[in-house]
Amino acid sequence: MKSNPRFKLLVPRRRARSLTAAALAVAAGFLPSPAGAQQPAPPAGRTRMTVLTSPVDALVTLTGESELRATSPIELEPLWTGRYRVTIEAPGHATVRGALLFPEDGSRPTARSEPPGVTPGILLRSLNVPGFPHLLSRRAGRGPAFLIAGAGGLGAIVLNQAEYRDRLDRPDLESQDRAGDFRHARRSWTIYTGTVWGLSALDYIARARMRLLESTPTRVTVGAPRLRRAGVMWRSILIPGAGQDYANRKFRGLVWLGATLASGAAYFVAVESRHQILTKLTRAEALLATASPAEFADRQADVDHFV
């Protein structure tokens, strides 16, 4: 009999070890032959479970105590119980990840992941530290990008605040000028960090999520959203690279996001540098206005240097 090419079952880890040990014991003569061995009884009340998808024939990956990667529909034996991570992939649809719980008592499966749409729980989790919600939901690419940008922005705020407080208590004019520069830089990096925080929250809210369409004691149907031009466009407009990420072009979306965050940081570094030059120019012009004839040439040279 030919095997079904659409179905690839990875033997459960714990059962694989047990089967290996049993085979060695049979070979050594300590256990009866497999023909006389009894198969483990399924949990009471459990029957076969059919996993269906929308769209049909989607590639489904289940990961838990056992692992399975197959094209739907999938027939699961009664021993498949517990919590499983689910990944659904299909042409023309966004790749989604979620989680399902198959109860041991034979009742209907339930979703153990966030539903589509905007819920209070999703809003609350999205406001976490930039990148953290993505890492918790196993989005390894975009999570670190937001985390690095957010941590860099927060570090710049703390550093500039410390320098500002240190210069503020000094009476000389140069220290007062530098205190103003650090105050301006702190404000700029606060804007940058707030923008990264907002983008991280929007990106987390807008990501594709698994839908639980039907659940009975014998059948469960899960779905992935169809890729539509409008959905891709509004995500790309709001968050750099989110449209590409939603359309399953993960690397391209990550490149757009990383380039935008790095360009934003470079812009604020340039703004900070320009503000410091203008501060020095203003101070040099003030000194030039009050310079004596002997100091005039040197003060003029300072002004010309910053112009």
Q: Are 94 and 227 in contact (CB under 8 A)?
A: yes
What's the whole-model pTM score? Answer: 0.77
User: In the 3-class helix/strand/coil scheme, how is the chain assigned residue by residue?
Assistant: CCCCCCEEEECCHHHHHHHHHHHHHHHHCCCCCHHHCCCCCCCCCCCCEEEEEECCCCEEEEECCCEEEEECCEEECCCCCEEEEEEEECCCECCEEEEEEECCCCCCCEECCCCCCCCHHHHHHHCCCCCHHHHHCCCCCHHHHHHHHHHHHHHHHHHHHHHHHHHHCCCCHHHHHHHHHHHHHHHHHHHHHHHHHHHHHHHHHHCCCCEEEEECCCEEEEECCECCHHHHHHHHHHCCCHHHHHCCCHHHHHHHHHHHHHHHHHHHHHHHHHHHHHHHHHHHHHHHHCCCCCCHHHHHHHHHHHC
11: left (phi over 0), alpha (psi -120 to 50) or beta: beta
Q: Tell whether the model's pLDDT for residue 10 goes beyond 60.
A: no
Q: Give the span between the Cα atoms of 19 and 161, in whole angstroms.
A: 63
Q: What is the pLDDT of residues 123-135, one digit of tens each?
A: 999 999 999 888 8
Predicted confidence at residue 135, as pLDDT, reads 86
Phi, psi of 102 (to 5 degrees): -100, 105
Q: Are 287 and 299 in contact (CB under 8 A)?
A: yes
Q: What is the pLDDT of residues 242-300, one digit of tens each?
A: 999 999 999 999 999 999 999 999 999 999 999 888 888 888 888 888 888 888 788 78
- Read off the pLDDT of each residue in 25-41 and give the average, rounded to a whole number: 45
Cα–Cα distances (Å) from 103 to 43, 63, 64, 75, 77, in that order, read 10, 16, 14, 16, 13
Q: Give the span between the Cα atoms of 142 and 193, in whole angstroms.
A: 16
pLDDT band at 221 (very low <50, low <70, confident <90, very high): very high
